[in-house]
Amino acid sequence: MTSQGGFAAIAAQLEGQAIELPSWAFGNSGTRFKVFGSAGTPRTVEEKIADAATVHRFTGLAPKVALHIPWDRGDDYAALAAYAAEQGVALGTINSNTFQDDDYKLGSLVHVDPKVRQKAIDHHLECIDVMDVTGSRDLKIWLADGSNYPGQADLRGRQDRLAESLAVIYDRLGGDQRLVLEYKFFEPAFYHTDVPDWGTSYAQVSALGERAVVCLDTGHHAPGTNIEFIVMQLLRLGKLGSFDFNSRFYADDDLIVGAADPFQLFRILFEVIRGGGYGPANPDGHSDVAFMLDQCHNIEDKIPGQIRSVLNVQEMTARALLVDRAALETAQSEGDVLGANAVLMDAFYTDVRADLAAWREERGLPGDPMRAYAESGYQRDIEAARVGGTQLSWT
């Protein structure tokens, strides 16, 4: 059974849900073989922000935009933050990049050469300088560091150097800022990756302090991994800092969240809610756990891709909130295996789309954001206006 009172009982809990958008989702992207261009793609970071603000305008779910340095590097971050505010959004997480420079071929924060390590550290300090101006809370670090062959690298030595480098970066953070360490179990290194799993990330951030936490990218796991178990454990340990929501069919595919396995997204969100990772935990009305997308739209239009993504997260959040927790706990305590499973399945199969459409309309939002965007003419307008110049991409 679903929670008593149905959707009306959980509607208030949907207020304030915030899903941060990645600036790079609005630029061109592709496969290992080609980056595909598309009409209307932003040529400046301001155009990326305008597109992200459009997603928020149609959904009410995406009030922040994450930046990636140097992809979004500029001369005046205060002006950029002001521009974002004019568009109705704020600048959020600052993401570093140590995976597209020749100096980092054999590692960045773990490199054996202290000069290369210092270069990578300095880049992260630059990112914190940006955070100081934009008011961003989180510095998110994903490292491509690793090796391809047994014997190529000193595995323990690299972990020691990583710890030392992260400590320098962590010590530079302001009082309200956080270091968020992402993990990825393979690619681009294939023998070992220096931060391959949640345990390694947890070990490194635990040594730094309470403002160092783990980022869980839903696509960065081996097939069959029970991601909701990891969510539970990190929440239990107080170290789940943020999500990068996406979907994968084979590896790190960065597809629209919920596209591959909506039930997995539901299970993850149920554990987030159960573990206290969702809701007004702080004075600003939001939990410490940041929801963010990390997707690349290779062949589909980018703005509708982001709209669909945030709607998928909202829908599965609503379904997860509908779980009758009391009935579930009773079934679990009584050893009622199938009964407990039925409580979850009943909530998952509840169709909340009409309820969510009505909920949006009550708040002055379009009931069907996808259709409203298609009918708005925004896509046609940007395709006509953004002619000439160089389209932005992640290369």
> Can you tell me the distance from the alpha carbon of 392 to that of 72, in angstroms, rounded to the nearest whole number?
9
Tokens of 158: 């690299």
In a domain, 212, yes or no: yes
In a domain, 388, yes or no: no
Q: Residue 277, CB half-sphere, CA atoms under 13 Å: how many? A: 29
CATH code (residue 85)? 3.20.20.150
In a domain, 203, yes or no: yes
In a domain, 339, yes or no: no
Are the beta carbons of 180 and 93 closer than 8 angstroms? Answer: yes
Domain of residue 179, residue span: 16-316
ω before 366 within 30° of 0 (cis)?
Answer: no
The per-residue pLDDT for 30 is: 83
The per-residue pLDDT for 2 is: 65
Specify the pTM: 0.96
The per-residue pLDDT for 279 is: 83
Tokens of 207: 């040594």
Are the beta carbons of 146 and 192 closer than 8 angstroms? Answer: yes
In a domain, 336, yes or no: no
In a domain, 50, yes or no: yes
The per-residue pLDDT for 134 is: 98
In a domain, 382, yes or no: no
- Which residues, 6 or more positions from 250, have their beta carbon under 8 angstroms from its beta carbon? none
Q: What's CA 346's distance to the chain center, in Å? A: 28
Task: Count structural domains, the chain.
Answer: 1
The per-residue pLDDT for 26 is: 97
User: Consecutive sets of 10 residues in the chain, 395 residues long: mean pLDDT of each?
Assistant: 80 95 94 87 97 98 98 97 98 97 98 98 98 98 98 98 98 97 95 98 98 98 96 97 96 94 98 91 64 94 98 98 98 98 98 98 98 98 96 81
In a domain, 153, yes or no: yes
In Å, how far are 93, 143, 202, 245 from 178, measured between CA atoms? Answer: 10, 17, 14, 19
